[in-house]
Amino acid sequence: MSIPTDLKYTKSHEWVKTEADGNVSVGITDHAQELLGDMVFVELPQVGDTFTQKQECAVAESVKAAADVYSPVSGEVTEVNSALADNPENINQDAFGSWLFKLKPSNPAELEGLFDAAGYQALLDNEEH
């Protein structure tokens, strides 16, 4: 699958989308869902929780394993995607369309430090060797 160019990425395989209101949506990448296999449970943060960059903030569990999701930037949770509780397989079907939570970034400059699509692709290419 191609990597969307309108998103930013982390080394720990989260994607980040900046919305019109300045908040960011966060999900896990297609590569991450493929590694994990069939998703069966997502533990989401609560609205109002605050995280610093790279802090554990959610858990994605597949039949195989539990994987921590790290906050790509610092900020406060403004919304969570509760629909994933009943349909965690949505992540397998459309990883880049299945956001887990939204954050109001407290330090928007952190966004500049994330990978763009080309940078993330290079990371994946490296992992394969």
Contacts with another protein, residue ranges (CB under 8 A) = 37-38, 40-41, 43, 59, 61, 63-64, 66, 85, 89, 92
**What SS3 class is residue 92?**
helix
Beta carbon of residue 45, minimum distance to another protein (angstroms, whole number): 13
- Closer residue to another protein (CB): 64 or 97: 64
CA distance 117 to 97: 16
Cβ-based nearer residue to another protein, 24 or 36? 36
Shortest Cβ distance from residue 46 to another protein (Å)?
13
Residue with tokens 């509780």, as numbered in its chain = 85
The single-letter code of the amino acid at 41 is F
H-only helix segments in 16-116 = 30-36, 83-86, 90-93
CB of 37 to another protein, least distance (A): 6
Closest CA to 69 of 86, 89, 87, 91: 91
Which residue, 5 or 82, has its beta carbon nearer to another protein?
82
Query: Does residue 78 sit in helix, strand or coil?
Result: strand
Nearer Cβ to another protein (59/117)? 59
Which letter does DSSP use for residue 4 in this model? P
Least distance (Å) between residue 85 CB and another protein: 7
